[in-house]
Amino acid sequence: MTNLVTLTRMRVQLALRNKMFFFFSIILPLGFFFLYCGVFAKGQPDGVAFLLGPVLGLNVMGSFWGLSATLVMFREQGILRRFHVTPVTATDMLISSILANYVLTLPTVVVELFLARTLFHVPHLGNLLSVFLLVSIGTISFGSLGLVIASITNTMQETQVLNQLLWLPLIFLSGATIPFTSLSKTVQHIALFLPATYLVHGLKSAIVDRQGPEHVGLALISLTVWFLLTLFLSSQLFRWEPEAKIPRRAKLYVAATAIPFLLLGIWEATNGRVIAEENATLQRLEAPHKSDKNDGAQPDSNSPKRPPLSDDSNSPPDP
């Protein structure tokens, strides 16, 4: 436990000294926050609340970038070799990386929630317990994905390529950047097999619909199982030395980490719960705007009415 605490504190201190950390972990997430809330939502509280889930989802999902790149860099520079001669185990190194990433990610999420409430006057932030659980489990689960990437890649170039290949589907198909209801039916069913879809949808449900942990429990359980699988696999494939290689067959084991969302995707594709809830949420948010337009098109009942033209032939002629 002492080694774990020491390593976590060291990782946090190293990150705070890195200028790139401030850009990717603070400036970039806040930039997305103001882009979504100020431009896309036009500062309207209801729109900001609807887009707050995708904003937090982007912040949480981005955690695997830093972890994978940092561990590969440590291995290439021989830093992990120095830790290997100490009483530090591979599990200590991996868990401390996840804990440090969580400690560094959580304050940015809190700042975004605070700004949404005070600056954009969002009337409520939903069920904060559900938001906290989704952010916490999402951060450690996507962070563990970064550990797997660092375990199966040999160079920084390979790491960046694999990060890009995973990052693009996660952000474009999950509803984090493109509204989920705007996707075609085929793409929506494909997105049901991605962990990011359940993270973003769960955050929307927690914030907009104020759903409790019991409603988002399926997403929480799936993300937790995914975290355990990826953590176990990364501990088995972890390498201290840059010269150490893993067999190609071992890389196929990574596919086993997709089992939770493979099963969940099959169930959701049959049940249709996520797609139905996404459509219902969007229709409920659009309903007030449609009613306002209809009200504006109707004549005012209190305005004076013109009397009907008389067709009385006995009326006196005009002088």
Average pLDDT for the chain: 86
Q: Which domain holds residue 192?
A: 2-284
* Cβ–Cβ under 8 Å, residues 125 and 44: no
Q: For 56, phi and psi rounded to 5 degrees?
A: -65, -35
Q: What is the DSSP letter of 238?
A: -
Q: Is the residue at 295 inside a domain?
A: no
Span 282-309, mean pLDDT? Answer: 56
* pLDDT confidence of residue 256: 84
Q: How many domains does the chain have?
A: 1
Strands (E), the chain: none
* pLDDT confidence of residue 161: 92
* pLDDT confidence of residue 307: 45
Q: Is the residue at 290 inside a domain?
A: no
Q: What confidence tier does 302 reach under pLDDT thresholds 50, 70, 90?
A: very low
Span 128-149, mean pLDDT? Answer: 95
SS3 307: coil
Taking the C-alpha atoms of residue 239 and residue 71, their distance in angstroms, rounded to an integer, is 10
Q: Is the residue at 300 inside a domain?
A: no
Query: pLDDT per residue over 220-276, tens digit each?
Result: 999 999 999 999 999 888 888 888 877 777 777 788 888 889 999 999 999 989 999
* Cβ–Cβ under 8 Å, residues 60 and 199: yes
Q: Is the residue at 313 inside a domain?
A: no
Q: For 305, phi and psi rounded to 5 degrees?
A: -100, 145
* pLDDT confidence of residue 52: 95
* Sign of the C-alpha dihedral computed for residues 100, 62, 115 and 30 taken in this order: positive
Q: Is the residue at 98 inside a domain?
A: yes
* pLDDT confidence of residue 21: 76
Q: What confidence tier does 295 reach under pLDDT thresholds 50, 70, 90?
A: low
* pLDDT confidence of residue 55: 95
